[in-house]
Structure 1
Amino acid sequence: MPLFLQGLFWFGLLTVCYTYFGYGILLYLIVSVKRLWKRPENLTFLYEPNITLMVAAYNEEAYIRDKIENSLGLNYPRGNIQFLFVTDGSNDRTPEIVRQFPEIKLMHQPDRQGKIMAVERAMPEVTGEIVVFTDANTLLNREALRNIVRHFADKKVGVVSGEKRILNREADEAAGAGEGFYWKYESKLKQWDDELYSVMGAAGELFAIRTALFEPIPKDSLIEDFYMSFKIVEKGYKIAYEPEAYAMEEPSASVKEELKRKIRIAAGGIQSIVRLSELLNPFSYGVITFQYVSHRVLRWTLAPLALPLVFLANLLLWNQGVFYQYVFVGQVMFYLAALLGLMLEKKQVRLKVLFIPYYFCMMNYAVYAGFKRYLKGSQSVLWEKAARRTH
């Protein structure tokens, strides 16, 4: 029995460690070796194809004017850019505000059918050979379009992912600070994934695709940006990463709002793993499969399941030596820190040292809740964006 428990313990522990930081370390080492013989590519800013900037907005009257002014101020030849805003289903002043700007092509219908349907309805109106998608509640840096578009000079690139940056302040609660830390780590992984071969998905806040590669998305898709980008990968293209094209966004307004967002992403991630099962074949996709499993699949499947497995096996192995006792005490302290973070957050007391365990546990709980929603089919495809802190 102890041997069986030890096997479970080590399998679970190694799975968790590899998923959350082991892959990052391995990726960094591989990329460091690769840099020894491969020089960085020099990207040109002379590539200026016709592009379309598409914004799908639902009831974003608090942000839409800032978004429009930010979009019109981006550094890209005005004659080479089409601004296309889709406000389907919005029943606030969002469409009215967009109409005040003649440079913007507005598409609006009263029926709310979800972001996927809004994007698909707008795609036939796209005039650019590159379409850049960005959220209505984000602001882009001035050089974002030039920086993101230049990657398409490489014919092997089908998608380019920008970077998401969370605007944190000292007083932000654990959800916001944890979200910011998570995205900084994710950005590093994206940078190294890109250097190895391809980024594992695009940030929905800012990404671009070759218009000709777009294909209809299943109407019940929960994370359309992820599915859209990987369908292009299946065609033999790769996803590039551009950290100097970034979308700035306020953190989630509360822990509850951030959890809602994480559950939707988890449900969509599990759905995508099922629908993109071809990518799990290393004989067809090689290094893509290695990156996909390591960066995405394990996070949405084995790693969250391994956490309680490690805890229970560790408890039963208490009498097997001081090592297991130390590890178990460490686990208990980690989860107590997460619980304390939750309790203090409810009292609006913020301690930065608790951000990581608190956010880590919330993220993994979201996978369980997301898996349940996926099995029940109860996750709506309509806009369910987490409320963001207003500026």
Structure 2
Amino acid sequence: MSVYNEEKVIEKKIKSIINSHYPAEKLSIYIGSDASSDGTNAIMRQWASQYPRFKFFEYSERRGKSSVLNDLLDEILKDYKPDPDIIYVFTDASVFLGEETIQTLIQNFNSKEIALADARIVPVSQLQGGISHSEKFYLGREADIKFMEGEIWGCMMGVFGGCFAVRSNFACKVPPQLVVDDFYITMRVLEQGGKAIYDNKAVCFEGIPDEMKEEFKRKKRISSGNFQNLLAFLHFLWSGPLSRWYCYVSHKVLRWMGPFFIIGMLASSFVLCMMGLWFFVGPLSVY
């Protein structure tokens, strides 16, 4: 887990991991602080001193989530060699796990075909107004699509990112400049021939924004990352299984390219309108 200035939520997050019903002797926790400037590091040091399997790494330079995750993967590889039976669970500080979340996620890997499993994030809002209702509706529909993609083809198009598990031999480093790291990891798993699924029984919880301004900033960041991933996996458009191509194009590419289709539609409508006006004015001038 990569953290940055998470003092308001980090202790609750750690407790949700520690209180998990997953066997403690099988669980190692790796957390990296991306040059946090609040009380996050002090809280983490205290927890690390109490739990031997709790590994905390402080990084003095702010580099971004992807770089911290890459460094944590290096640290893990010092302790554990890549093994299909070793599972990495990626999670965010703001996503709180249920007591059965980790156990439920890990059970999916009893099937050797499964390389990645995503958890169900239940959105929690303190307010009933704002955009929270719309966001909950969107997340629900998105979850349904991801579930069916995984259930039918094993080609879930991108994890939600708050909590997901990957076989260690399928885990990969993320280019540091990449904004949306979780989608990149999912696509690399599919590229290697692994199956990715969405487990709606592995439940965790995350607050959602109530203000449009906050949500717009988040969507803008995600949108820029989407086009980075589109370029990274452009070859998916002409290679690989038909099922993967269908999920990628129908679920992601068409959505990403939607604004350009709308602009093209408006431009063509304008041209057709002007042509129609010209053909109408021509005969009218004869009379």
**Shorter-chain TM-score: which interval?**
0.7 to 0.9
Distance apart, 1:149 and its partner CA:
0.9
Aligned amino acid, residue 245 of structure 1? A
What stretches of structure 1 of length at least 5 have no aligned partner? 1-54, 321-391
Partner of 2:177: 220
| Alignment partner of 2:39 out of 93, 103, 118 | 93
Listed one character per residue, the Cα deviations across residues 255-304 of structure 1 (whole Å, up to 9, x for unaligned) are 1111111111111111111111221125x222111111100111111x22
Q: 1:252 aligns with which of 186, 209, 227?
A: 209
Q: Which residue of the partner structure matches residue 200 of structure 2? A: 243
SS of residue matched to 1:212: coil
**8 Å contact kept, 1:233–1:239:** yes
Compute the displacement of 1:168 (Å).
Answer: 3.0
**1: distance between equivalents of 2:33 and 2:15?**
17
Q: Given the two structures, how large is their TM-score scaled by the length of structure 2?
A: 0.85
**Counterpart in 2 of 1:273?**
230
Q: Secondary structure at the match of 1:162?
A: strand
5 Å matches for 1:194-233? 194-197=150-153, 198-233=155-190
Deviation per residue, 1:157-216 (Å, 9 max, x gap) = 211111222113553312x22221110111111111112212111111011111122222
- Give the corresponding residue for 1:307: 262
Q: Determine which structure has the larger strand proportion and give its number.
A: 2
C-alpha deviation, 1:100, in angstroms: 1.7
Secondary structure at the counterpart of residue 34 of structure 2: coil
Root-mean-square deviation (CA, aligned residues, Å) is: 2.0
| 1:387 corresponds to | none
Change (3 A) 1:92 1:81: same
* Matching residue of 1:350: none
Structure 2 residue 28 is the aligned partner of structure 1 residue 82: yes
SS in 2 for 1:288: helix
- Deviation, 1:254, is 2.0
Which residue of 118, 136, 139 corresponds with 2:68? 118
User: 1:17-28 alignment to 2 at 5 Å?
Assistant: none
Displaced runs of 4+ in structure 1, greater than 4 A?
308-317
The aligned runs of 1:23-172 (5 Å cut-off) are: 55-101=1-47, 102-103=50-51, 104-126=54-76, 127=79, 129-172=86-129
Identity %: 28
> 1:152 corresponds to which letter in structure 2?
F
TM norm structure 1: 0.63
* Cα distance in 2 for residues equivalent to 1:233 and 1:313: 37
| Unaligned residue ranges in structure 2 (runs of 5+) | 81-85, 277-287
Q: Deviations over 1:360-388 (max 9, x none)?
A: xxxxxxxxxxxxxxxxxxxxxxxxxxxxx
SS in structure 1 at match of 2:133 = helix
Match of 2:148 among 192, 196, 220: 192
**How many equivalent residue pairs?**
261
SS of structure 1 residue aligned to 2:169: helix
User: Which letter maps to 1:75?
Assistant: H
Within 1, Cα distance between the matches of 2:98 and 2:259? Answer: 35
Distance 2:192 2:264 in 1: 38
Equivalent position of 2:250 in the other structure? 294
Find the residue that maps to 2:116 and give its secondary structure.
strand
After superposition, give the CA deviation of every residue in 1:134-163 in whole Å (9 maximum; x if it has no partner).
100111121111111111122222111112
Residue type at the aligned position of 2:10: I
